[in-house]
Structure 1
């Protein structure tokens, strides 16, 4: 069986040009998110990828205590579908290559974007949706969709993210800080030793967390 005391968190961060206005807020919010995950009892390992028109894996499978401060350099357009497809397939291949007892009992993929898909060349909307649903239904992965300048619940649901695990945030300092607090709290609930992952998934983000992320 997989290791119930091990968690893998893979973060996919939009670095397209429009992120420039919330660059420092995003860096600080992601750093705070990682700090929150250092408090859980599980051993947590982190993969970080960034995307614009191109995809870059910044680091892979790093222990949470060794994660460096995030650095975001906005540029380019938003190849969201290609980035999701690349991250999920690469992570899946990495985990599949390990002995089962070395695979994490909890896998969480966090996708943050401030804009709509506009430049993917390899992955389609339908292919991404099928991939996400497969990883959720067959392998019990968790996915969070954090979206600004959009109805993130509608967009995320269309891509296969559960609506309760999709959240709209305001593209301003308060909204960015709020959405990372929400993601951090959800991630901790998912890994709580006294709780059940299924309960955290079913409940998703709370109404208070949604208001905090999108104060209006």
Structure 2
């Protein structure tokens, strides 16, 4: 029998801010803000499961940490000025930096829940600090400690790109405003079910099963 757990949830969202995301700017803003509201709702409903959010964007101009382990009650909606797509896709550098940072920040936590969500509409093409092999090893190690990873992608071999960095929980979205709306609806449902399963004491592997297949 699963016993409800009183543990914090750390949400790390890594969002592509490359130029090709420009056509989806309004729906990406709206979708991210829906995720924020979902996290806040869950945090209010289940105060024994406090929620924190780290939010990182990446493109050829830089990797930006917009939210850094922010408590849910302090979250503010993302504005158009904070998300300006431009440039290329240094996905591995964004992942490597943000995973290392969060791991250091919570290294003294006992049995935390960590959900890493990656959204990109293209393949890695400009990283300089981290290789696919380095990111893969990091993801494998963190998965073994109970971290969960989801990969949302478009316009590339989504399953292949995710598998190359040891992520199996994937979904392909259509690169249109309508496709983004559908993606974020799937993400919202999966996230709420994931939180509930973890609250009941399920393992991360069991909790993330069928993440993108909720009715």
**TM-score, normalised relative to structure 1:** 0.86
Residue of structure 2 equivalent to 1:152: 158
**Greater alpha carbon shift after TM alignment, 56-65 vs 107-116:** 56-65
CA RMSD of aligned residues (A): 1.8
Deviation at 1:31, TM superposition (A): 0.4
* 1:86-123 deviation line (CA, Å, top 9, x unaligned): 11011111111x4x35xx62101111111111101111
* 1:151-209 deviation line (CA, Å, top 9, x unaligned): 322211221111xx11111111121112122222222112113472432223332176x
Structure 2 counterparts to residues 186-197 of structure 1, below 5 A: 186-192=190-196, 193-194=199-200, 196-197=202-203
**Greater alpha carbon shift after TM alignment, 124-133 vs 61-70:** 61-70
**TM-score, normalised relative to structure 2:** 0.86
Deviation at 1:46, TM superposition (A): 0.5
**2: CA distance between counterparts of 1:94 and 1:105?**
12
Is contact 1:107–1:142 with CA below 8 Å preserved after alignment? yes
**Greater alpha carbon shift after TM alignment, 38-47 vs 113-122:** 38-47
* 1:134-163 deviation line (CA, Å, top 9, x unaligned): 1001x210111111112322211221111x
**2: CA distance between counterparts of 1:122 and 1:202?**
32
5+ unaligned residues in a row in structure 1: which ranges? 209-216
- How many correspondences in the alignment? 199
5+ unaligned residues in a row in structure 2: which ranges? none
Structure 2 counterparts to residues 35-46 of structure 1, below 5 A: 35-40=37-42, 41=46, 42-46=49-53
Residue of structure 1 equivalent to 2:141: 134
**1: CA distance between counterparts of 2:116 and 2:95?**
9
Deviation at 1:74, TM superposition (A): 0.8
